[in-house]
Amino acid sequence: MRVVITIIKYYPIIVNVYILMSMLTYVSGIPINGNQYVYTFIGQIFITNILLILLSHKLSFYVWHRLLIYNMSFCLLLETIFNFGICINNYSYIVIISTIISIFIAILIFRKHGTYSQKKSDNGI
């Protein structure tokens, strides 16, 4: 059970860092051929994001965790719209800025409040 909680806790962090790094390499024009293979292992879908949000509430994770999941969903929504051929001006820059802001705010909230809510940490998970 502890391993599952750890995966649930760190998955949004890993995916947000991946989103940021892949979009920065895209904007800077650096071609990375292995990017598509990495995405199949840590890639995301809306159903996974919904499950993560539900588990984040169930396990009483703080808002920083949900903020990262919301950012993942927002980036996925923009990517889906873009893939359907709807032109979004500066799509990659919007994703980069929202990810940087989300990571920065999540770090601030994490430093102030930690990982779990106080009532749940008193009882243990």
pLDDT tens-place string over residues 25-54: 888 888 776 666 566 566 678 888 898 889
The pTM assigned to this predicted structure is 0.80
Residue 113 lies in a domain: yes
Question: Which letter does DSSP use for residue 116 in this model?
Answer: B
Mean pLDDT of 62-75: 90
Residue 125 lies in a domain: no
Report the SS3 class of residue 61.
Answer: strand
Mean pLDDT (the chain, rounded): 82
Residue 44 lies in a domain: yes
pLDDT-derived band at 123 (thresholds 50, 70, 90) equals very low
Pair of tokens at residue 40: 């199949």
Total number of domains in the chain: 1
Residue 105 lies in a domain: yes
Range of the domain at 78: 2-120
> Residue 120: what pLDDT?
47
